[in-house]
Amino acid sequence: MTRSVNSWSEARIHDSEGSIHAIRRIAIHFHIMIYTITLNPSIDYTVSVKDLQIGKLNRAESESIRAGGKGLNVSAVLANLGMKSVALGFTAGVIGEAIEKLTLSQGLTTDFIGVEGESRINVKVLGVDGVTEINGGARFDERRIAELKRKLSGLTADDYLVLSGNAPSESVYADLLESVAEFGAKTVVDASGKLLTSCLPYKPFLIKPNLLELLELFDRTEAREDEIFEMAEKLRALGTRNVIVSLGGDGAIMITESGKRLRAPAPKGKPVNTVGAGDSLVAGFIYGYEKSKDYAEALRYGVNVGSATAFSGELATKEEIAKLGEIL
């Protein structure tokens, strides 16, 4: 079934219920739709400082400003790959207005819900010791969550719903998954701790903890590769269809819904900034799976996209990805 649409803005103007049904009517002939949720999007202000000195004036060598948040990162990389998505979440105040303008400048389609307060500004300082971050954030209540659920009421089995990042409660993602379970959409959860494990009974299509998050779930500090596979298998046994564990510079491993063990090494290169690399892996996997319908190929592609982000210092573009392997 194709979907025919003319204008994303018309969806918000003419949709009295604020649901995905209207968004569908205005999409450009897409067999699938991808929706990402960033509950608390941000403006990311990133500065590079050669030698950060606390308590003193530091001069930035470079700086950048863009709309941020894990779900928005997924949407941005999908857009770079030529795949449409709709980014959902909550924005507030003057910062929220700036986020919406920045997302438009990045070519993203959004359908944010306005709330009280101010959206967050993330200050990321890149120095010789890695990345130092300072975060803030807006607030939203159950009424706003109910409004978000209404927007998800038109999901179908052809669609993806990506839930990424931190949340104000450990049950909010599970609550959202429960509300869309009847639609059969492919749900993807990139979170940690109880925020992640509470989602497992709702059988997400994919979860993607990184190695540290996986070890914390099992109260471990280190593990051999076979033990990593075993822990991933235990998570799959609790409900999720597929598990990817990102291993940073070592690539990623995957347990598929059939129990098959897959391994994708990372291409060789020097990481510049790993912020957004995990989100890029998720976007690359979705893109690769929709192009190939093969888990091994999708995992390989996801790792290449994540690596392209880490090596370039910016969210992966098709050109940067092409340097690491063929484009699907």
The residues that are catalytic are 279
E strands, the chain, in order: 34-38, 42-48, 62-68, 86-92, 109-110, 113-115, 120-127, 130-134, 160-164, 186-190, 206-207, 242-246, 252-255, 261-264
Supply φ then ψ for residue 49, to 5 degrees: -125, 125
114 strand-pairing partners: 91
For the beta carbon of residue 73, count every other beta carbon within 10 angstroms: 30
- State the Cα–Cα distance between residues 298 and 17, nearest whole angstrom: 36
In this structure, what token pair is assigned to residue 164? 């990424």
For the beta carbon of residue 146, count every other beta carbon within 10 angstroms: 11
- Count of H-run helices and E-run strands, the chain: 12, 14
Give start and end residues of each alpha helix (H) in 26-167: 70-80, 93-105, 142-151
